[in-house]
């Protein structure tokens, strides 16, 4: 076990133990090392009162099943009680990989200017007539959208466009172009969003976003 003795490092702290898991080796080797240490080299920590254990996964990408495997091994050993499992990696369960790339920008996009972005864009400011914003993901404008917005321009027809004041010269989602704004039938100042349904672009109030995309990070009630 000389080569793998550092795959699991056990440290004592004031309120229990920290298990630091190596994040560069196969997960199966981690489980093997963990069992070995608890059954052999660290059996002394399995006696006495309950000891709280905190797991540090580093940058390892671990599924819920992987975490349960770790908790199962530790949980059935003596007096150890797993309190937390922490990773330096953001949520890995996103069904849409673009959700890992939400960018916030602010300012004004003036006539003749075009902003292109790979991912989702949250723009704090106005997009003036003659200005344009193009994204592979969603476009959310906390301001007035009076220019052109093209979401999902790489072909993602699940993309959305939303704005606090939605009066664009043109909206596009994937290959679908919007109807003229005067045909939308929405005149109040409520924040609106555009989306594709049955091959056509639709406009609705932002408080309906959670019905269409309940998993979306910008969805509200």
Mean pLDDT of the chain: 81
Query: What is the predicted pLDDT for the residue at 13?
Result: 86
Q: Are both 140 and 112 inside the same structural domain?
A: yes
Q: Are both 125 and 150 inside the same structural domain?
A: yes
How far, in Å, CA of 76 to CA of 195, rounded?
A: 50
Full domain range(s) for residue 29:
2-86
Query: What is the predicted pLDDT for the residue at 92?
Result: 46
pTM of model > 0.75: no
In a domain? residue 82 = yes
Stated as kind and residue range, the H or E segment containing 197 is strand 192-197
Query: What is the predicted pLDDT for the residue at 5?
Result: 52
Distance of CA 92 to the CA centre of its chain: 7
Q: How many domains in the chain?
A: 2
pLDDT tens digit sequence for 99-139: 456 788 889 999 999 999 888 898 999 999 999 999 999 99
Q: 22-31, 51-60, 207-216: which has the minimum mean pLDDT?
A: 207-216
| Polymer length in residues for the chain | 221
- Label residues 21-41 b or e (16+ Cβ within 10 Å = b): bbbeeebeebbbbbebbbeee
Q: What sign does the dihedral 47-51-56-60 (CA atoms) show?
A: positive
Q: Which residue has the tokens 């093997």?
A: 32
Q: Dump strand ranges (E) for 6-50.
A: 8-13, 16-21
In a domain? residue 218 = no
pLDDT > 70 in the chain, percent? 81
In a domain? residue 79 = yes
In a domain? residue 217 = no
Q: Are both 21 and 71 inside the same structural domain?
A: yes
In a domain? residue 189 = yes
Query: What is the predicted pLDDT for the residue at 44?
Result: 79
pLDDT tens digit sequence for 24-54: 888 888 888 888 888 887 777 777 788 889 9
The DSSP code sequence of 83-150 is EEEE-SS-----SSGGGG-EEEEEEEE-TT-EEEESSEEEEEEEE-TT-EEEESS-EEEEEEE-SEEE
pLDDT tens digit sequence for 165-193: 888 999 999 999 986 666 555 555 567 78
In a domain? residue 53 = yes
Query: What is the predicted pLDDT for the residue at 26?
Result: 80
């Amino acid at each position: 076990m000389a080569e793998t003795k550092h795959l699991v490092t056990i440290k004592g702290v004031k309120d229990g133990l920290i298990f630091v898991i190596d994040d560069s080796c196969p997960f199966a080797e981690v489980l093997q090392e963990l069992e070995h240490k608890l059954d052999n080299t660290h059996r002394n920590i399995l006696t006495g009162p309950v000891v709280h254990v905190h797991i540090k996964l580093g940058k390892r990408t671990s599924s819920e099943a992987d975490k349960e495997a770790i908790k199962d091994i530790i949980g059935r050993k003596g007096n150890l009680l797993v309190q937390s499992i922490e990773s330096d990696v953001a949520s890995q369960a996103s069904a849409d990989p673009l959700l890992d790339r939400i960018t916030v920008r602010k300012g004004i996009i003036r006539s003749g200017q075009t902003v292109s972005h790979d991912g989702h864009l949250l723009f704090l400011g106005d997009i003036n007539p003659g200005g344009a914003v193009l994204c592979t993901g969603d476009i959310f404008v906390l301001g007035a959208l009076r220019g052109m917005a093209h979401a999902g321009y790489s072909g993602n027809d699940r993309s959305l466009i939303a704005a606090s004041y939605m009066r664009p010269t043109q909206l596009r989602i994937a290959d679908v172009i919007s109807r003229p704004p005067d045909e939308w039938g929405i005149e109040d100042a409520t924040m609106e969003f555009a989306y594709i349904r049955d091959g056509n672009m639709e406009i609705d109030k932002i408080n309906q976003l959670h019905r269409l995309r309940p998993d979306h990070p910008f969805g509200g009630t």
